[in-house]
Amino acid sequence: MTSSITVHRPTRFVPHPSWGPKTTALVRALRSAAQRSTFEMTPVQTRRLLERIAWLAPRVSGIRRTDARVGGVPATWYLPSGHRGPDARVLMHLHGGGFALCSQRTHGTMVSELATAAGARGLLPRYRLAPEHPYPAALDDCEAAYVGLLASGVHPSRIILSGDSAGGNLVVSLAVRLREAGIPLPRALVLLSPWVDLTASGVSVDSNACYDYVTRPILDRFAELYAASCDPTSPELSPLRANLRGLPPTLIQVGGAESLLSEGCEFAAKARAAGVQVSLQKWEGMVHAWQGYSFALPDARDAIAEVGRYVHRLYGARAAIEQRPIPTLAPAFAGPTRSRR
């Protein structure tokens, strides 16, 4: 018997009260594209489309990009000027995309910006994607890249492990796996709109469905592609259910209008209860993984700057760092939005 996928009618789109017209236009476009690409295109077709669009994103100046293999995993280094020495800290970022989409092309700008803000070398492993390579392929690749980074001589205290959306899931699952294996943990974790529960049990999946471009049918679809025949409630697939004791200090950023708001907050509470030092930042009116839209959203640039401040505080540097200007793309989306502050 073959399984079938039930496609639910999407909830009617409603602009968030904090949005201006340009943010509304951006989210409306993202929502329409997410719906069409999930249910009318194959993952391979969607990857090609995203990579074509990604070429339009502004490049961050002062960054040298180098392809490499780290622990046998293809990866790209993003090296800001002044942070290329062997003792420089490393921000290893695990990209989102529902475990099935995205690459160094779609996330290169984000990693460049995060690395620049954090005063670090950026590293983006290109882990294998579902459905061709379901769980645990992506997590195995991320583990191999991290261990390879240690083997290259980078001290774990100089590593920041970050991830957005599904990449946040991989960050937590990797940290738990490393802890269980007795492998030294990174200095800190940074989770941007983390998707840590593949069952989408959080109340905001429904309460924010009218705002966000990531909705329950989309989450269900990508969870199915990644988990395949495995139980999506297992701790390595849904690390919200994992034992979080002993994890490094963790920064979590969630959007007030995103579908994964409640599970990000629940994860923060569970991590705190396990003794983890947690900093939770909630950004009013922001949708899922808004940090990736710095070309259009001032709040995205502010959120990346907050990651930089957090990292600098960890290492004892001054908390207030200068945020370099980020070039603006697509004038239609370039106007101001209402900030959380």
Burial of 265 (0-12, 13-18, 19+ CB in 10 A): middle
pLDDT value at position 11?
82
CA 308 vs CA 19, 52, 111, 318: distances in Å: 25, 29, 12, 11
Structure tokens at 18: 């904090």
CA 110 vs CA 41, 155, 164: distances in Å: 25, 24, 10
Q: For residue 327, is it within any domain? A: no
pLDDT category at 335 given cuts 50, 70, 90 is very low
DSSP string, 61-130: TTEEEEEEEETTEEEEEEEETT--STTS-EEEEE--STTTS--HHHHHHHHHHHHHHHTSEEEEE----T
Query: Token pair 């970022």 is at which residue?
Result: 93
pLDDT value at position 52?
87
Identity of the amino acid at 36: R
Q: What are phi and psi of 293, to 5 degrees?
A: -120, 45
Structure tokens at 290: 């808004």
| Cβ pair 138, 99 in contact under 8 A | yes
Structure tokens at 155: 């001290």
Structure tokens at 320: 């207030």
Q: First CA to last CA across the chain, in angstroms?
A: 54
Above 60 in pLDDT, residue 1?
A: no
Q: To the nearest 10°, report the CA torsion of 264, 57, 159, 62.
A: -150
Distance CA(186)–CA(249), nearest Å, equals 9
**Mean predicted lDDT score pLDDT of the chain:** 89
Q: For residue 16, is it within any domain? A: no
Q: What is the chain's length? A: 341
Q: What confidence tens digit (pLDDT) does each residue in 13-23 have?
A: 999 999 999 99
Q: What confidence tens digit (pLDDT) does each residue in 174-195 have?
A: 999 999 999 999 999 999 999 9
Query: DSSP state, 158?
Result: G
Q: For residue 1, is it within any domain? A: no
pLDDT value at position 324?
38
Is the N-terminal amide bond of 248 cis, ω within 30° of 0?
no
Indicate the number of domains in the chain.
Answer: 1
Burial of 316 (0-12, 13-18, 19+ CB in 10 A): exposed
Q: What confidence tens digit (pLDDT) does each residue in 257-284 have?
A: 999 999 999 999 999 999 999 999 999 9
CATH of the domain at 305: 3.40.50.1820
Above 50 in pLDDT, residue 122?
A: yes
CA 289 vs CA 134, 181, 337: distances in Å: 23, 30, 16
User: SS3 for 252?
Assistant: strand
pLDDT category at 321 given cuts 50, 70, 90 is very low
Above 80 in pLDDT, residue 126?
A: yes
Is the pLDDT higher at 87 or at 51? Answer: 51
Distance CA(183)–CA(129), nearest Å, equals 25
Point out the residues that are catalytic: 165, 258, 288
Q: What confidence tens digit (pLDDT) does each residue in 230-260 have?
A: 999 999 999 999 999 999 999 999 999 999 9
| Cβ pair 244, 276 in contact under 8 A | yes
The domain in which residue 255 lies consists of 22-318
Distance CA(308)–CA(298), nearest Å, equals 16
Q: For residue 336, is it within any domain? A: no
Identity of the amino acid at 131: P
pLDDT value at position 85?
60
Q: For residue 335, is it within any domain? A: no
User: SS3 for 198?
Assistant: coil
pTM of the shown model: 0.90
